[in-house]
Structure 1
Amino acid sequence: MTQIGEPLVYAAQTVVGQVRGHNEDALLCCPELALWAVADGMGGHLRGEVASALALQTLRTACAEGQDLVTAVHAANCAILAAAEGDADCRGMGTTLVAVRFSGADFEIVWVGDSRAYRVDADCIRYLSRDHSWVQSMIDAGEMSVEEARSHPQRNVIFQCLGRDHQVIEIGQARGSLGPHELLLLCSDGLTGELTDPQIQQVCASANSLDELVEQLIAQANQMGGRDNISCIVLGRASVEPVAAAQPRGFLSKLFKPLTK
C-alpha cells in the first residue's frame, strides 16, 4: 500500500441506548497501529460484553504481533471459544465485528456479522461491508426490499459471528483508499437499526466536526427509540488546510479541501 504520510483524525462513542440495561458493544481505537474496530456482543447478561471486549483485545494483540487482519480475526474467534470452554457461564457468548486498518490513506476492512462499514461523502453513502444476515440474503435474492428488511421480524438473525458453536467463520473483506472529502464510518446495528442510510449521510454532511458528528448520530438513534446499544467510529484524513469557516456547508466540505499537486 502507498504510504502518504498523512495522519488520520477520528471520533468514537458507545452508549447503552434507551432500552438495554447494560452495554455489550465495545470499541477499539488504536492509532498507533492504524487500527479501529467495533464489536457488538451477544449471549446473555454481561457475557456479550465479555465476548466483545475479548475479541478486540485479541485483535489488537495479534495485529501488534504482526498478524494480518484476517488472521487476527480468527485469533479473536479462537479466544472467545476457549474462554467459553473454560467457563460455563460464558458458553454461547459471541460477538459481531467490523475492523479497519490503514496504511496511509489506503485501508483494509474485515467484518463478521452485521456491524457495518460505510464510505460517506457530502453527496452519498456507500456500503463497504455486507451483512451476514438472513434479511440480507433475502435482499440479495431479490425476495425482499431494503425497506421491508428494516421492519422484518427476523432482521436481527445473523449467520456469522465470533464464538458460536465452533462454526467455520466467514470473514468479509474489502479494500480501498479514503479520499480527502470522505469519511469512513464503522458502527453497530444499534445505529443502523434506528437510522436509514440517507439519514446517516445527512448527519455526516451537515456536522461541523467529527465529535459533533458522532454525538449527533447517537442522539438521533436514541431519539428514534435507542432499542439497542449504539456505537460508532468515524475517521477522516487530516491532510490539508481547513477551508475558511465562513463557507456555509458542513464538515465534509468545510474542514477539508482537495489536495493540490
Structure 2
Amino acid sequence: MEQRLIYAGQSVPGRVRGHNEDALLCCPQLSLWAIADGMGGHQCGEVASALALDTLQAGCADGLELADAVHAANREVLAVARTEEHQGMGTTLVAVRFNGAAFNIAWVGDSRAYRVSAGHIERVTHDHSWVQAMIDAGQMSPETARSHPQRNVILQCLGRDDQPLQVGLHHGVLGEHELLLLCSDGLTGELEDAQIQQLCSSAQTLDELVNQLLARANDMGGKDNISCIVLGRDAAAPSVARKPRGLLSRLFTSR
C-alpha cells in the first residue's frame, strides 16, 4: 500500500516582535512544503517571504525543478526589492519536495531542515551564515556561535543583488519512523538540537509536536518569529498486540 505524507505546521510572532515576517507554504497537492524568513522590517520582510513562497509554488506548479523554482523566487524578490517602497528587503528559504518517500531539499540562508528519529537528530542543511563560515574554518566553536553577536549575519538570501545566489541542495529518502522538520532560526536560536529531538520523542502527534516546539521556544525567550513544519510518513494502524511507543511510532496513525 502506498504511504502518504502527514504534516503539521505553524508560525507565531514570538514574544518580542510585534509582527511576523515568516511565511509558511504547505501544498500537499504539489508535495511541496517551505518556510521563508523575511528581512527588512514591517511591510518589507513579510512581503519578501510571502512573495518568495508564492513564486516557489507557482514555479513548481509550472513544472520547474525545486532549485529552479528557488531561483525564480529570487528574481521576483529582487525585482520588488529594487523599488523604493521595498528597498533592501530579502528572505531566507528552506523548501522540500517529495516524490513518494524520496525528497529534495533546497535552502538559502539559515532556515534549516532536520531529519529526526527516535534516538537521533541530523541537520541536513548547512547555514549560509557568518558564524557557520567561522565554524567551518575552525575559528569558532558551535557553542560560541550560538551566542555570538553576529550569529544572525547571513551570507546568502533571496533578494541580494551583490553576489550570485547559491542554493543548497540535499536529497534523501524519509524512513517510516523518521520525521523531517523545517524551521526558521527563531526556533533554532532558542532550542538546541538535542532539545528538539527530545520533544520529537515525547509528543503524541504532529500537531502536538509543533505546539510544543513553538511553546518551548517562546519559553526560552521567543526573541524572533518562530516557524516550523514537521512531516512524516503515514502507515496502517498497528495491531493491539504491538501498541506503539512514543511519537515516532504513534504519529503515523494520526489523521
Coarse TM-score class (shorter-chain normalised): over 0.9
How many Å separate the matches in 1 of 2:146 and 2:241?
38
SS of residue matched to 2:48: helix
Q: Are residue 28 (structure 1) and residue 50 (structure 2) matched? A: no
How many Å separate the matches in 2 of 1:181 and 1:67?
30
Partner residue, 2:58: 61
Which letter maps to 1:34? S
1:89–1:139 CA distance, 2 compared to 1 (3 A): same
Partner residue, 2:103: 107
CA contact (8 A) 1:92 1:165 kept: no
CA contact (8 A) 1:188 1:231 kept: yes
- TM-score, with normalisation over the residues of structure 2? 0.95
CA contact (8 A) 1:243 1:256 kept: no
Partner residue, 2:178: 182
Compare 116-125 and 134-143 and name the one that shifted more.
134-143
How many Å separate the matches in 1 of 2:251 and 2:8?
15
Partner residue, 2:200: 204
Partner residue, 1:71: 68
CA contact (8 A) 1:129 1:172 kept: yes
How many Å separate the matches in 2 of 1:114 and 1:60?
20
Q: Give the CA deviation at 1:145.
A: 1.3
CA contact (8 A) 2:206 2:251 kept: no
CA contact (8 A) 2:187 2:214 kept: yes
What are the superposed Cα offsets for residues 14-58 of structure 1, whole Å, 9 maximum, x if unpaired? 000000010000000000000000000001222100000000000
Query: What stretches of structure 2 of length at least 5 have no aligned partner?
Result: none
Q: Give the CA deviation at 1:244.
A: 4.6
Q: Give the CA deviation at 1:148.
A: 0.8
Partner residue, 1:118: 114
What are the superposed Cα offsets for residues 131-182 of structure 1, whole Å, 9 maximum, x if unpaired? 0001111111122111111001110011000002353110000000000000
Moved over 2 A (4+): 239-249, 253-257
CA contact (8 A) 1:180 1:236 kept: yes
CA contact (8 A) 1:206 1:249 kept: no
Partner residue, 2:88: 92
CA contact (8 A) 1:190 1:229 kept: yes
Q: Give the CA deviation at 1:255.
A: 3.7
Query: What stretches of structure 1 of length at least 5 have no aligned partner?
Result: none
SS of residue matched to 2:170: strand
What are the superposed Cα offsets for residues 93-146 of structure 1, whole Å, 9 maximum, x if unpaired? 000000000000000000000000000011010011000001111111122111
Identify which of 104, 117, 126 aligns with 1:130. 126
How many Å separate the matches in 1 of 2:241 and 2:19?
40
How many Å separate the matches in 2 of 1:245 and 1:147?
44
Which letter maps to 1:170? Q
How many Å separate the matches in 2 of 1:68 and 1:235?
21
Q: Give the CA deviation at 1:228.
A: 0.1
- Give RMSD over aligned pairs: 1.6
CA contact (8 A) 2:26 2:34 kept: yes
Partner residue, 2:209: 213
CA contact (8 A) 2:94 2:182 kept: yes
